């Protein structure tokens, strides 16, 4: 007997780039623009999939502004 697992909706695979220019990932030291997946609460590296920023929606109410100022930014694009 074969048991079927839960199938993930295609909308869960939709993602967008996060940063306009490449930045250095703190986990793998590779340049990335990061990705945010639909329904996700993290910006992940496109090279190693490590979390670059994680937020949980229950920690924030209303609006939140996040300003990124990468440490060793050299203008790479």
Token digits for 38? 């639909």
Range with lowest mean pLDDT among 6-15, 17-26, 30-39, 51-60? 6-15
User: Which among 35, 75, 66 has a CA at the least distance from the CA of 52?
Assistant: 35
Give the count of domains, the chain. 1
Per-residue confidence (pLDDT) for residue 60, from 0 to 100 = 66
Q: Residue 18: inside a domain, yes or no?
A: no
Q: Residue 62: inside a domain, yes or no?
A: yes
User: pTM higher than 0.85 for the full model?
Assistant: no
Q: Residue 15: inside a domain, yes or no?
A: no
Q: Residue 12: inside a domain, yes or no?
A: no
Mean of per-residue pLDDT scores for the chain: 77
Q: Residue 1: inside a domain, yes or no?
A: no
* Host domain of residue 67: 25-71
Q: Residue 61: inside a domain, yes or no?
A: yes
| pLDDT single digits (tens) 5-29 | 777 665 567 888 888 889 899 889 9
Name the DSSP class of 23. Answer: E
> 77: pLDDT confidence band, cut at 50, 70 and 90?
very low
Q: Residue 37: inside a domain, yes or no?
A: yes
**Where are the alpha helices (H) located in 16-73, listed in sequence order?**
none
Q: Residue 4: inside a domain, yes or no?
A: no
């Amino acid at each position: 007997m074969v048991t079927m697992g839960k199938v993930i909706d295609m909308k869960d695979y939709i993602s967008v780039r996060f940063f306009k220019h490449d930045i250095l990932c703190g986990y793998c030291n590779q340049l990335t623009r990061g990705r945010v997946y639909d329904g996700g609460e993290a910006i992940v590296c496109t090279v190693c999939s490590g979390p670059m920023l994680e937020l949980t929606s229950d920690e924030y109410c209303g609006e939140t502004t996040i300003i990124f100022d990468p440490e060793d930014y050299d203008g790479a694009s």
